[in-house]
Amino acid sequence: MSKQPYQIDVADLTSQLETNDQTGLTAEQVQDRLAEYGPNALVAKKKKTLLQKFIDQFKDLMIGILLAAALVAAFTGEQTDAAFILAIVIINAVFGVFQESKAEGAIEALKALATPKARVIRDGRDQEVLATDLVSGDLVHLEAGDVVPADLRLASVANLQVEESTLTGESVPVEKTAAVLTGDNLPLGDQANLAFMNSNVTYGRATGVVTGTGMKTQVGLIAESLQSTDETKTPLQENLKQLGKILTYLILAIATLTFVVGYFTQNAKIIDLILTSISLAVAAIPEGLPAIVTVTLALGTARMAKKAALVRKLPAVETLGSTDIIGSDKTGTLTQNKMTVEKLVLDGQIIDLKQENPFEAEQVNPDLLKLADVLALNNDTKEIDDGLVGDPTETALIAFNQKYRPAYKDTLAKMPRVSEIPFDSERKLMTTIHPVDSAYEATVKGAPDSILARVSQVLDHGQIRPVTDADLAKYQEINAELADQALRVLAFAYKDLAAVPENPQADEIEKGLILVGLIAMIDPERPEVKGAVAEAKKAGIQPIMITGDHPKTAAAIAGRLGILTDEDDRDRAVMTGAQLDEMPEEEFKDRVKDVRVYARVAPAHKVKIVQAWQNKGKVVAMTGDGVNDAPALKTADIGVAMGITGTEVSKEAADMVLADDNFSTIVAAVKEGRKVFANIQKALQYLLASNLAEVIAIFMMTLLGWQVLAPVMILWINLVTDTLPAIALGLEPAQKGVMSQKPRGKTANFLSAGVGPAIIWQGTLQALIVLGVYGMALAFPEHQGYDLIHGDALTMAFMTLGLMQMFNAINVKSVYQSEFGPQAFANKFFNWALVFSLFAMMAVVFIKPLNPIFHVTYLDSHQWLTVVLAAFSIIVIVELVKWVQRHFYKKG
């Protein structure tokens, strides 16, 4: 087996790559390798053309049925009917293409190159080149603030620390080395002499040899493997697919039955029976449903975009509403991704900065001013226009000074660094030396245990006195207390020097120190997340924290956010990646329901967690920002990528991108998703109840030997009622208590929660009222002659059916609740849509030139009064039924 780059000496590696470890590649070598291997970039997934996107919109069973109906209508001479159907189908396809393109545009706006340029040695001189022009064998310089532009074998290292969370999930920077490593198949996190593309340099500097570019990097290998990861069908897609199958079978059965009954009972012409069957098929198909679902989802995505949630795939909007589990990263999503000083320890006392500002005291403790100076002096942070660059711990110290003591800049100007002893992991200390008056001062920071072992004096309210055993015991006790709270603690000390040694030695400088105090810091929770977690729990959603951090740190943040509570058994509620690897699959399936925090886990564990919950029938949303998160994002029912810190690979794999990387945005999107599902359910109830009424009415008319509603009549009713009023239902505000209900679960569908029975009885009721109006018109004719009698009766039935469907749109706003509360007419778009549709429906009778097109007659005032009263009766009857259901069956 060939050796991995981390197992090879740099000299041997440069020889293999035919490069020079001093002068780098020549321009000719670079051009040859670029021509052979291509640019240093991930191969982008080929985007669909507008035509391909348009064609994809027709790959739906419901659309197929509509197209078949249009084809039959066209062949049987009903050109108007065919045109109506095709127009609805095309409008739906255009909506779909528009939203998909709009979502892609939003994602493209978020994209930015990880590192547009890189510093290299070529032809023996330093150059700055485009990162995409890097090739294997290039010598690359790195320093704090850089994004690693390719996979590198480090050749020389000076205190280099690299944050590799995008690949490993570990938020703590990794200390790097140039030494050869042994061992086969080391995890990426242990390959300490390599730097990986898209990771971030937080401290130090280095030079490395490029070993892999583009798709040959670790990032590229994972991106390539994603092509084989199957995407999960959303609940909405499954529901619509199932509904399409059911409607297909019903349409075929009803059309066939009507044809057979008509043929044997009425001896009608074949062409008339075909037209009647087409009428039934058109009546049974909710033509507007695909467009209404698309519009409702698109409106939902627009509202989500305003709340920083960018939806890439329309069905994901509704999926959010059915979410049972939200698996969330800690750093940056639940927390601020910014180490922050929370507590100070001076003179043996803890000062909580969340409770008080010690700099605003009437008399500021001089020890506090000295501590602030040492924090600033013993620091490698770079201040640039965009903020602070450097190790997260050190930037937190400068941020503390910026907030509480801006005068630290005067101290930096007066006391420039003249020498230093860099930090190393054995001493756990860093020392800097600065001029002060006619002498010098050494400032020291590091682990409390290391500092306390080297102090001989302590600063006490501006006075220096010998340190006592009691002092040391007190500080050690406080250090342990703060560590138990998952705070990262650093100690600070200083020492006066008469001169600067030519070669400062730690053993000489770092002893006999004067202790100043301690600081305690943490990456704090986002202030709005605690409320979002509480809201999610109230909604029956279980938030889960997944992080590469230490279990104690993760548990502390989870406790502060309410993800972990005092009632939780910490031994069962917190699990590490090592425990997860060791646990048998069956045991984990049982245990997963108790785990609230996963610590020290790699992103690869996320897939296992997602699948365990999915096997329990739960709908899982999973967040991620790293390359290794991408498989989990695709496996989850809804993958949520980070817009700010997320890699392009994770964004491509996700269904939704958070523009603000904020957990509370997910919860807000869940609320929107629940509203979207409820509104689609209302529209579906409205459409299917209307279509059922049409089917029953036409079938009974056929059996009774009456004239049947023509296809153009049915299409006009559906066009008028299925467009504006149904779309307006998609704009209904969220119902009261939408986030106090439990998730509906995977087994629920659009016909659950009483919607199915409501469709049946309301659709049947409408058909009976229509048949009653037709029968009454025949029984009490105002005109003589068969054609006139049946023409008026058919027109009255036609108008009753159309107007009644629109009145029923008011009823479907709730399955059980009355529609005449304070918010009855809050949806202004719905109010105007109803008014417009009512006038459009009546226009075909009032405007005489339209009468022959729609096969209607002109009605007198008595006939209109009958039609209007019959149509309005649906509101009265449904309100009475709802009242009975609420009071006798205790329905919500």
Catalytic residues: 329
- Cα separation, 313 vs 638, in Å, equals 10
Q: What does R_g of the chain's alpha carbons equal in angstroms? A: 36
- The number of C-alpha atoms within 13 Å of 67 and in the hemisphere containing its C-beta is 13
Look at the block and give the residue holding tokens 């795939």.
313
Beta strands in 144-273 (DSSP E): 151-163, 174-175, 194-195, 200-212
Q: Write the DSSP symbol of residue 157.
A: E
Counting Cα atoms < 13 Å in the Cβ hemisphere of 4 gives 18
- The β-bridge partners of 118 are 129
Q: Residue 488 half-sphere exposure, CB side, CA atoms within 13 Å?
A: 19
Q: Measure the CA–CA gap between 136 and 20, rounded to whole angstroms.
A: 12
**Among 876, 799, 783, residue whose Cα is nearest residue 843:** 799
CA trace torsion 877, 879, 885, 888 (10° rounding): -90
Number of neighbouring beta carbons within 10 Å of residue 864: 15
Query: Exposed, middle or buried: residue 95 (CB in 10 Å: 0-12, 13-18, 19+)?
Result: buried
Nearest to 583 by CA among 555, 544, 609: 609
**CA-based max dimension of the chain:** 124
Distance (Å, whole) CA 596 – CA 559 = 10
- Show the tokens assigned to 40: 């240093």
Which one, of 741, 766, 763, lies nearest residue 753 by Cα? 741
Give me the helix-helix angle, 663-704 and 755-779, nearest 10°.
30
Gap between the Cα atoms of 45 and 47, Å rounded: 6
Among the listed residues 541, 499, 117, 126, the one whose alpha carbon sits nearest the alpha carbon of residue 319: 541
Query: How many other C-beta atoms can be found within 10 angstroms of the C-beta atom of residue 105?
Result: 10
